[in-house]
Amino acid sequence: MRRMSCIQDMALRAKRRIPAFAWGYLDGGSGEEGGLRRNRDRLEAVLLKPRFCTGVRPDTSAALFDVTYAQPFGIAPVGMGGLMWPGADLALAALAKAGGIPMVASTVSSTALEDIAQAAGGNAWFQLYASRQPRINRDLMDRAWAAGIRVMAVTVDVPLAGDRRRDVRNRFILPFRPGLRFAWDVATHPAWALATLRHGSPGFPNLARYSGDVDGQTLTAFISSQIKDDLSWDDIRDIRQTWPGKLLVKGILAPENAAQALAIGADGVWVSNHGGRQQDSAPAAIDALAAVRSVVAGDAMLVMDSGLRSGEDMARARVMGADFVFAGRPFYYGAAAGGAAGAARAVELLSADLKRILAQLGCPSWRDLDRRWLWDGRDSPEKPG
């Protein structure tokens, strides 16, 4: 694992190690993948100003909702994590506990939220996809609370499934008809195939109980039929009133949506374009972050994800206004590249890189990092002539 020096190296190895349909599902974006590319391009355009000889040794810890985490980043909710590597969710939950970072269990995770909560100690959060049936939403929230989870993110940016063309090309769609190509894909990735055989193919344990006793394919169809495609702020208000813990609204890009989320009593806003998986024409999350910052004030928290691949990217997000950041693919690239050890390496790389960039910037802590570190060109000397 130590030979992998960055998240991109882990992604390259992951791509070789898992079947093409699993890789396409993990790595892909929607449409022509403009949203995916834009996240990276716009992040790379954010330049930071280093200041040396400040005599500081940086502190990377960050406080969020009365908890001080060892790092200012967490593991974003990722559905079907077991597809990328069997046991990935639990390996990451254990790392969240050991490393003092939050991990968000998805409604459609392939590990039960109760099991993630147990493995993550107090560091598990829950992500809710609102169902058409209020009783399912209520039950999921009751279960999360009973499992000791105190922070929930309700995701609002999936009114319909994204246009995931890689999944269509790989025939990773319903009705799922495994053919020769699928068999070849699995057979040529023996480590993944064996691990999956040992573990069983990934399901949707959080939701299985609501669909009755059905096969995996029917369960997947049931879940798709549950997407609440007419979600409104009244629904989010109901969820706010039901959930006794801290609430974030995830998937916000428009400042006016951020204001609405706070108006119905959310404790924070999670800026995200779902890692470029929902809208080809979506703005880069880093640009939306800067716009949303202006409407999030006081105690409300501003969280961001989408495209972050290094501690340096996280510092860019901090300078543009994030209180805390998340990443999705990086941790699952790690797990796909090397199981539990690969996942641990991803956390280690991000933590080390964050420490390095704070030192490079001469910034004493994540808390202190702000727009003073943005290189906006105004410090450049006038060009002669």
Ligand X SMILES: Cc1cc2nc3c(=O)[nH]c(=O)nc-3n(C[C@H](O)[C@H](O)[C@H](O)COP(=O)(O)O)c2cc1C
Q: Which of 166, 274, 293, 316 is an active site residue?
A: 274
Work out whether 261 is an interface residue with ligand X (CB under 6 A): no
Any known ligand binding at 61?
Answer: no
User: What 3-state class would DSSP assign to 381?
Assistant: coil
Q: Which of 35, 58, 275, 339 binds ligand X (CB under 6 A)?
A: 275
C-alpha span between 9 and 7 (Å, rounded):
5
Contact in structure between 215 and 54 (CB atoms under 8 Å): no
Any known ligand binding at 164?
Answer: yes
Any known ligand binding at 106?
Answer: yes
Reduced 3-state DSSP string for 81-103: HHHHCCCHHHHHHHHHHHHCCCE
Q: Which of 10, 95, 105, 108 binds ligand X (CB under 6 A)?
A: 108
CB of 129 to ligand X, least distance (A): 6
Work out whether 35 is an interface residue with ligand X (CB under 6 A): no
Instruction: Find the helix packing angle between 34-44 and 311-319, rounded to 10°.
Output: 80
CB atoms within 10 A of CB 305: 29
Any known ligand binding at 250?
Answer: yes
C-alpha span between 378 and 382 (Å, rounded):
9
Any known ligand binding at 274?
Answer: yes
Q: Which of 17, 38, 274, 345 binds ligand X (CB under 6 A)?
A: 274
CB of 51 to ligand X, least distance (A): 29
Any known ligand binding at 166?
Answer: no
Work out whether 30 is an interface residue with ligand X (CB under 6 A): no
CB of 383 to ligand X, least distance (A): 37
Active site residue 274: yes
Tell which positions 63-92 bind ligand X, by CB under 6 A.
Answer: 76-79
User: What 3-state class would DSSP assign to 192?
Assistant: helix
Using CB under 6 A as the binding criterion, the count of chain residues that bind ligand X stands at: 22
Q: Which of 30, 60, 71, 106 binds ligand X (CB under 6 A)?
A: 106
Work out whether 279 is an interface residue with ligand X (CB under 6 A): no
C-alpha span between 25 and 161 (Å, rounded):
13
C-alpha span between 300 and 277 (Å, rounded):
26
Reading the block at residue 215, the tokens are 């096969």
Concatenating the DSSP letter of every residue in 118-183 gives HHTGGGEEEEEPPBSSHHHHHHHHHHHHHTT--EEEEE-S-SS----HHHHHTT-SSSP---HHHH
Torsional class of 97: left (φ above 0), alpha (ψ -120 to 50), beta (otherwise): alpha
Omega cis (within 30) before 175: yes
CB atoms within 10 A of CB 186: 19
Q: Which of 7, 10, 22, 26 binds ligand X (CB under 6 A)?
A: 26
CB of 256 to ligand X, least distance (A): 20
Cα 13 → chain centroid:
20
Nearer to ligand X, 271 or 363 (CB): 271
CB of 380 to ligand X, least distance (A): 31
Any known ligand binding at 97?
Answer: no
Any known ligand binding at 2?
Answer: no
Single-letter amino acid, residue 272:
S
Work out whether 334 is an interface residue with ligand X (CB under 6 A): no
C-alpha span between 222 and 294 (Å, rounded):
40
C-alpha span between 258 and 121 (Å, rounded):
30
Work out whether 282 is an interface residue with ligand X (CB under 6 A): no
The piece of 5-13, 177-185, 252-260, 273-281 that touches ligand X (CB under 6 A) is 273-281
Work out whether 170 is an interface residue with ligand X (CB under 6 A): no
Q: Which of 164, 166, 316, 329 binds ligand X (CB under 6 A)?
A: 329
Nearer to ligand X, 62 or 223 (CB): 223
Binding site residues, ligand X, CB under 6 A: 25-26, 76-79, 106, 108, 127, 155, 250, 272, 274-275, 277, 305-308, 327-329
Catalytic residue positions, numbered: 274
Which segments are annotated as binding site for glyoxylate? Answer: 25, 129, 164, 274, 277
Which segments are annotated as binding site for FMN? Answer: 77-79, 106, 127, 155, 250, 272, 305-309, 328-329
